[in-house]
A and B are shown apart, each in its own frame.
Chain A
């Protein structure tokens, strides 16, 4: 049960990240493999703010006043984290606009590595040893549930914002950039502006994810925000379907749960290895083979369904009539 609540919280944090990334990569078509960098900026900003505003407010003898103060500190941390991350989105977005495809990917990767290196070397951020984040909002038995609620609200908020943006003229402008940048700008879309909007928006949501993560975990380690995390997030977006938010959600949940379930099940597969004494039978835990399975899933997907699991299908199609006409009165 405890574990289940933890997993829900973690998946919700991931959803904030992949929701934003699906905007940057899925809709605008900008290949970013540095999304964990924005997440790190959010998390460390939040950690820093909480450390400043609420160092151990929630010790055993916490009063009602200090409890309230710790909630306020968390709120401030969320705001600062989102601002800091979107500022980074702006900083990365603007110079990278002229880059496309692979070059943009490398630039975003470079950004996230710079962030990581800065954190490792900054003493005020805990360096390589990591940063402790004092508990805020509440302590004790209910804490898990409170944070699961906060994370779920954050994920719902993120996905709602992404959906609202996408179904507006601004969202259509973003998608048109992915489809044909030239036609898009010749139709009156300010391509430069919208690419930056996309980066800033996605980064802000990653900042939110970072703040929730920092307050929930109580401890931040630089290695959590490495390159592999960015790749994992990107795979969730790609696997779910480049144009489908529903697909992104499903893929995020699936790609988180499958390796966790494998670890939990402790299944192992027999392997044979050649030693001095000839072939020997051993075994490897399936969970450790996950990356191999991952790769196989991806290759099969790319061969059979390059547009991703759901393509551009959205769950809302179940209740929206196709070919809906606004003037279908007569």
Chain B
């Protein structure tokens, strides 16, 4: 009987998984953003299925970070539709969108520098903590229970990210690589279904970035995550992503599997060919 139950359970999970895989967690149509006269992003379409790991690449100034800022609600789009987890999140304030299950890291690390490592992660849990201000002031049961739970989950996350022994230190005192890891841990605390990573391995050496890649793979499985990541390190992107979207001059110039992208002449001209490291290099020229 136990066996039968287990089989049934396995079947239903795989069924759910299939459902989840097909589920379109993010769908973006004709997204555009202009700053004054500058069209930073235009005609941007993107569909992410639950569980996918997609890379967003492009030369400097291509509009990648702007796409993240639009998705998270930090910028209001000039036009376009963003549907996330079945909701139209267009025009919602960022904190609401986070509640629906989107979290991100930043290109230039934005930790809460004077707060401890532990408290940084705890802020990520904030919107999932459901006791009120009065509960906190009166130290009611809801406060104590919830805080104990947050402390425990924070401990788990810190262990997972190998930051447990730094928990009491101010975030600004961490070395660079650990700050990057802490930022991801903090984003994970927000309980995302979609994680946006803006250049997660920028400034890391080979072994650090290999470790991070393993960690991201693990997160993806353990937390059922969908990931969209921006990265300049082509090797990293090719290794980890299943699908790559190439942006140039604010528009998508190619998208497909790593192999397809590698051999796409437009991509080679706009991005790979330029060496990829000169700021505002090939991309800008190609777009004109």
Bitwise interface map of A from 289 to 329 toward B, beta carbon under 8 Å scored 1, else 0: 00000000000000000000000100000000011011100
Q: Evaluate contact between A173 and B126: CB separation under 8 angstroms.
A: yes
- How many interface residues does chain B have, given as a range? 35 or more
B85 within 8 A of A: no
CB of A124 within 8 Å of the partner chain: no
Interface size on A, residues (CB 8 A): 32
- Across chains A and B, the number of contacting residue pairs, with CB separation under 8 Å, is 108
The reply to whether B74 and A187 contact each other, CB–CB distance below 8 Å, is no
In the complex, A327→B159 CA distance in Å? 12
DSSP class of A's interface residues: helix, strand, loop or mixed? helix
Say whether B204 faces chain A, with CB atoms less than 8 Å apart.
Answer: no
Please state if B103 and A187 are interface contacts (CB–CB under 8 Å).
yes
Q: Is A283 an interface residue (CB 8 A)?
A: no
- Taking a contact as CB atoms under 8 Å apart, the answer to whether A185 and B94 are in contact is yes
Find chain B residues with CB under 8 A from A167 CB. 136
Contact present for A325 and B126 (CB under 8 Å): no
Q: Which residues of A contact B44 (CB under 8 A)?
A: none
Interface contact B155-A187, CB-CB below 8 Å: no
B84 within 8 A of A: no
Complex: chain B residue closest to A171, CB-CB: B136
In the complex the two chains form, is A185's CB within 8 Å of B114's CB? no
Q: Are B124 and A187 in contact (CB under 8 A)?
A: yes
The residues of B that contact A326 with a CB separation of less than 8 Å are 148, 151-152, 155
Shortest Cβ distance from A242 into B: residue: B114
Q: Does B150 contact A (CB under 8 A)?
A: yes
Tell me which residues from 164 to 220 in chain A have a Cβ below 8 Å from any Cβ of chain B. 164-165, 167-173, 175-176, 179-180, 182-191, 197
Judging by beta carbons under 8 Å apart, are A173 and B139 in contact?
no
Among B35-43, B104-112, B267-275, the stretch in contact with A? B104-112
Determine how close the nearest CB of chain A comes to the CB of B113; give it in whole angstroms: 6
Are A190 and B95 within 8 A (Cβ)? yes
For B114, the chain A residues whose CB sits under 8 A away are 175, 179, 243, 312
Q: Which of A165, A182, A188 contacts B136 (CB 8 A)?
A: A165
A182 to B73, CA, bound (A): 11
Asked if B126 and A180 sit within 8 Å, CB to CB, the answer is no
Given contacts A183-B110, A186-B94, contact A172 B123 (CB under 8 A): yes
State the CA gap A168–B122 with chains docked (Å).
Answer: 10
Task: Give the residues in chain A near B137, CB-CB below 8 Å.
Answer: 161, 164-165
Interchain residue pairs with CB less than 8 A apart (22): A164-B137, A165-B136, A168-B131, A169-B146, A171-B136, A173-B126, A175-B114, A179-B113, A180-B112, A184-B123, A185-B74, A185-B93, A185-B95, A186-B95, A187-B124, A188-B99, A188-B127, A188-B128, A323-B167, A325-B167, A326-B152, A327-B155
Residues of B at under 8 Å CB distance from A?
72, 74, 93-95, 98-99, 103-104, 106, 110-115, 119, 122-129, 131, 133, 136-139, 143, 146-148, 150-152, 155, 167-168, 186-187, 190
**Which chain A residues have a beta carbon within 8 Å of chain B's beta carbons?**
161, 164-165, 167-173, 175-176, 179-180, 182-191, 197, 243, 312, 322-323, 325-327
